[in-house]
Every structure is written in structure tokens, then in C-alpha cells.
Amino acid sequence: MAEADVAKRAEKLRELIAYHSWRYYVLDDPEISDDAYDALVRELEQIEREHPELVRPDSPTQRVGAPPSDQFAPVRHSQRMYSLDNAMDEGELVAWLERTTRDLGRPVRYVCELKIDGSSIALTYEGGVLVRAATRGDGTTGEDVTANVRTIKTVPLRLIGPGAGATVEVRGEVYMPKASFERLNEAQEAAGLPVFANPRNAAAGSVRQKDPSVTASRDLDTFLYQVVEPERFGLATQHEALEWLRASGFKVNPDVRVCASTDEVLAFCREALERRHDLPYEIDGVVVKVDSFAEQAELGFTAKAPRWAIAYKFPPEERTTKLLDIRVSVGRTGALTPYAVFEPVRVAGSTIARATLHNADEIARKGILIGDTIIVRKAGDVIPEVVGPVVALRDGSERPFVMPDACPSCGSPVWRPEGEAVARCVNAACPAQRLERLIHWASRGAMDIDGMGEEIIARLVDEGLVADVSDFYRLSEERLAALPLGRVKKDGSPVVLGPVVAAKLVGSIEASKRRPLARLLFGLGIRHVGATVAEALADAFGSVDAIAAASAEDLAAVEGVGPVIAASVRAFFDNADNRALIERLKAAGVATSEERPAEMGEQPLSGLTFVLTGALSSMTREQAAEALKAMGAKVTDSVSKKTSFVVVGESPGSKRDKALALGVPIIGEEELLRTLSTGQPPAA
Ligand code: AMP
Ligand code: ZN
């Protein structure tokens, strides 16, 4: 074939493949067999191999092609990607409908769409060809995830129909179907990798992979629902925009309804709630939008969200299941915590089988019997919770839970002071408590011994190598390498930790010797001394010795430390075993005093208080908090009027809402990074 003919053929093939992959992936209605389709792709691949100069970015062969990027470049959105205001119940939804109708002063038509629980995405096409895909980020600046999004089969690489040749930005949701999510988590589990909490996190995580071929393997899908600057395409309403998107080759959710009254909107919401479990993807509500773009413009935006749309959120999901047993775990302070063990159920996107019941009073208050059919839900869509029993379904075989009077781990008598809800094992040598204390010491918030997980610690205890936290610092690399993991190989010899992991662990143990004083205090697990109190004590006294020497009055004088905490700290250091432990830690080289940047003068962020919510991409929240504190800022867990800034990452929690309600300034990751690198506080 002549060069020109080859080029023509390649172009024709690309068109054909784009058309048939749209029929197959978007419409789910193929016209040709899989074999015929594969033959087209193979022919194009062949041509492109022989004529690399003919490869185009919108070629279907380029879905996985771009080299993996090290970092996601920031993308400034042409127009801000707003979030949506929420209506938490039908009452709030009706109030919003009435307000928009009143503000517009005429009957309003609304479009109801399902609220897809995924990750938002902005796609830019130039001359009809996909050139960029960006995440929402903080709304102003997102991340360039083009190479990854290109691998999603329902994202057209080139527009067809009314969108053919258009330069346009469209927005929508990337999501992971429920079935793909289950498969992914099974595979993650089999590979010993962490599982995703829900399809939303899985989708967001998959879009932000360093290697596009990983994204390609994740089975992501899309629904598009917004055309930016729709008037450029002669579109006057949201429902026309959805039609335009569909005709241009995008996947658009079919469950859309134009409603002319409150009753119609409510009916759509109720139907959606009813059907949510039958859908192959997760939805967490309904988005109601004013249909007319002219009316949308009249209503405008608040600082954070459009006034012309609202997200009606479904009530927290509840499921019923069978309560198989109530068991008791022993924490590091000896507290006995009953927890429910029930038949696994899927709630709000993940499978749960256990939930804490907190204490015996709580069980009595809820009236739960072992064997009951119970209602479970996920509080804040995260922590599983038992709501209560379905009394009508009892058959008489149920039995009440009795708090054991002996510790399930060591058999010592359990002590429950008058008027206290919590029962405790008070045996200081209790193996369960000891194990939990060791786990706590090594944990992220405390001494952060990277790689020292629960399983290894349990094995170290079993082998008699570690009894208290100072023993971590006496472990030799050889002993660790030879640590049996409690399994045997085919030939009957024990599986051991091995030299590679051992060397890493020794490094982590060494690194943990230099943690800040507050971490060490928290790691000791003194009753009532959480991370915040530990911080206050470290700031006030500067060393373990100074704290150990302080009187209860001195301790109680520290802000945030009352008489109860002071007494607990005193009791800890009055105990000879504990003092001996501190000496052993010092002897092992663990730092027990703060090297204070003495007289360093005013630090750049002193006087400012930050709260972090959502996931950051460039560091963990702990790392961000440490970095802020190192510059003199305070970092707290809850938002109040006194909070200076709330840092919002991907998928933020209720703290963002609280910040909005209180008018506390919100900053994104980019702003945070700027602050950390320049030492300039963010602009309020
Ligand atoms: P939230 O994150 O709770 O503030 O909700 C806003 C987000 O809902 C948007 O950023 C979108 O990513 C998402 N969303 C899902 N489905 C829709 C839809 N049909 N219309 C608008 N936004 C949607
Ligand atoms: Zn015990």
C-alpha cells in the first residue's frame, strides 16, 4: 500500500474501532462479534508498529501507552469544580425546592439525577480529541490524570455526533462497579495488600495510580453529567446537555427525570432509595438541579456550591443480620470491651461482621440478646454499629450477654468500680494487655516502628523475645531473621521472618529511638494520656525526668491536664516497675527529652490552629500535622470557632461541613504545600 493509503486505512480503522467500542462499552449493544472487533484492533496495531509516525493520541491502541508519570501535574480548572450543598432529609429537600421556586418567582422545572458515589473528573477535548483529564482536587486545582483516565473504556478518546471536532470540557464521575470492587478486594486480600473501604475509595485510588496499566486493570467506569459553557453548543437546559453528552459518545446515566413539582421530585428520590441495591454501582443520594441554564445563572453560586442544585443524601444504610455471639476483647488499659459477632452483611458498600458494643450498659440499654436478629448500620458510613434488636423476630432461644467476671485472657478477676461503665482486668501482667501495649507503642501515632505489626509482635511475645517495650531495642538482626512465623513449609521446616525483613525492622526500631517526647509519652499508654495531653505535657516539661519529678499540682497546672490526669501520671511514675522501664529505655538509647529549638524566636505558624480532613496525595495526614507543628502551628482534631484553617483533602469528612458552617477558612493541599515550603501562613 502507498503511504497515503496506509494513513487513510489507519484513520478508517480508528473510526471503526471507536464506533464499535462505543457500541460495546457505552451502549452495551455491540453490532459486531468480539473476534471481528479484535481483528480491527490487530490490524491497526500492525500498521502503527510499522508506521510509528501514524500513531495518534486518540488512537484506541493508546489507551495504555503514555509512560507512567512520577507525579501528577497540577491542573487549574477553567471554572471552579464546586461541591454540592446537602439536604439530609426530605424536609430539607422540600425547603430547598420551595426556596428556588420563590427566588425565581415562577414554577420551576428540575432534573433529578442519581448521585453516583465515585470520584469527580473533568475531561477536556480539543478539536474533538481527549487531551486532558483532571481530578477535582480542591475545586480550583486538580491533578492531571490523563494517562490513567485514557485507559477507561467508556471515556471516548474522540468525540462523535454533535461533539465531533468540538473543543469542550465535560465533567462527571468515575466509579467502580460493585462487582469489580468485590473482585478487586478479593485479589488485594489474596495478595496480602490492603483492601479498599468502599467503591468510592477504590475508584479514587485507581484513578491516582502512578502506573496507568494498574488503572487499566481496575475496571473503572464513568457517567458524565456536565457540559462546561453549554451555551456554546446551543444547549439551554440540563436535560439537553445530558442528551448532547450521550450523542457525543459519553456514557450518561439513564436514570434521569425532569420533574415539575415537589411531589415528582420526592417520588424520584423514594424510587432511587428503593432501587439503590439493585443497581450495579453505588449511589449515595439524588442530585436535583434546576433544569434551565438561564435560571441557574439567575440563582448563581454561594462560595462553595451552586444555589441551583442540591444533593439529597440517603439516610444511613441499615441492614438486618443474625447476632451469633457477643465476645470480649481486652485493651491495653485492661478495659474489657464486648463486641458483636454477626453474620456478614453488606452495608453502605462494604461487608461487615463485627461491631463494638462499647460496654455492658450499652448492651442492656439497647436490649440486645445473643441470637437476636439485629439491625446494623455504619455510623458516618464508616464505623459499624449495632442499632438494636428486631424484637418481633425472637423465638425464645435468645440469651442475655453476661459480662465475664474473669479476664478472658489471663483469668484474673475483673474489676468494675461502682458507677463506672467499664470493667477492667487489673492484672498488670495480663498477656492480652501486654500485647496491646506493645502494639500501641509500635503504632503510627506513637513510636511508629514501621513494619512492626500485630502479627510479628505476637510472635515475638510467644517466643519470649519481647515482654515490655524496652525489649524491642534489644532485638538483634539475627534473632529477628530467625523468628518463626508459626507456619511450616512443605518440607516441614518452619517459615521464618528472614534477613530482608529483619534488616528493615532493625532500621525502623533504630529510627524510633528519636521520636518526639510527646510520642513517647503517648506510647507508654499512661491512662488518660492521649496524644493531645502527651503534647501538652511534653511542651510544659520537656523531658520524662521532669514529668516524673513533677508534683500532682505542677502537672494539673498544665493547660488541658486536670486533677484526674495528673493523678494518673503521678501514679504511673510512682510505680517502681514503670521507673525501671524508663531506665531501660534510656539505657537502650531511646531519647526521653525534647531537644528544644531553644530561643528560636517566633516560629512562622505559631498562634495558628489547623484541622486536617480528607486524604492528601503528597503525604499522610500525620506527616502534614508533624510538618505544621514543626513550624509552630497547633493541629487539633475538631473544628471550632478558634480553628484558623481547615485543610481539605480528597473525600473530606464532616469537618469540612463544620468549617463551612462556622465560616472557618478552608484551604486545599496545594495551599498547604505552599505554606509548608514558604512558611507564609495561608491567606484567610
Ligand atoms: P459532595 O462531594 O458530597 O459535596 O457531592 C458533590 C459531588 O457529587 C460532586 O463533586 C460530584 O463528584 C458528585 N456527583 C455524583 N453524581 C452527580 C450528579 N449526577 N450531578 C452532580 N454531581 C454528582
Ligand atoms: Zn487479663
pLDDT in tens, 331-345: 988 999 999 999 999
Triad 258, 657, 352: Cα angle to 5°: 85
Q: Which pLDDT belongs to residue 673?
A: 86
Q: Which pLDDT belongs to residue 599?
A: 43
Helix/strand/coil for 618 = coil
CA 329–ligand 2 middle distance (angstroms): 10
Q: Which pLDDT belongs to residue 427?
A: 87
Using alpha carbons, select from 446, 579, 581, 586 the residue that is nearest to residue 522: 446
State the DSSP code for 487.
E
Q: What is the DSSP string of 275-307?
A: HGGGSSS-EEEEEEEESBHHHHHHH-B-SSSBT
Using alpha carbons, select from 471, 168, 110, 127 the residue that is nearest to residue 310: 110
For 466, other C-beta atoms within 10 Å of its C-beta total 23
Using alpha carbons, select from 337, 343, 344, 341 the residue that is nearest to residue 362: 337
Cβ atoms of residues 225 and 253 within 8 Å: yes
CA 256–ligand 1 middle distance (angstroms): 15
Specify the residue with its C-alpha closest to ligand 1, atom 2.
Answer: 83
How many angstroms separate the CA atoms of 191 and 198, rounded?
A: 18
CA 343–ligand 2 middle distance (angstroms): 28
Cβ atoms of residues 171 and 229 within 8 Å: no
Q: Residue 71 contacts by C-beta under 8 Å, 6 or more apart in sequence?
A: none
What residue has cell string 495518534? 56
Where in the sequence numbering do the catalytic residues fall?
115
Q: Which pLDDT belongs to residue 598?
A: 45
Cβ atoms of residues 211 and 68 within 8 Å: yes
Using alpha carbons, select from 307, 287, 147 the residue that is nearest to residue 226: 287
Q: Which pLDDT belongs to residue 67?
A: 55
pLDDT block averages, 10 residues each, the chain of length 684: 87 90 84 87 90 85 64 88 91 96 96 96 96 92 93 95 96 96 86 78 90 91 98 97 97 97 97 91 95 97 92 85 96 92 85 90 92 84 83 93 93 87 86 94 93 92 94 95 88 88 94 94 93 92 95 92 93 92 94 67 80 85 84 85 89 86 89 84 79
Q: Which pLDDT belongs to residue 28?
A: 78
Q: Which pLDDT belongs to residue 540?
A: 93
CA 584–ligand 2 middle distance (angstroms): 25
Of 81, 83, 223, 284, the one to substitute when testing ligand 1's pocket (max ligand atoms within 8 A of C-beta) is: 83
Count helices and strands (H / E) in the chain.
Answer: 24, 24
Specify the residue with its C-alpha closest to ligand 1, atom 21.
Answer: 287
Specify the residue with its C-alpha closest to ligand 1, atom 18.
Answer: 115
Residues flanking ligand 1, CB < 6 Å: 83-84, 113, 115-116, 120, 136, 173, 225, 287, 311
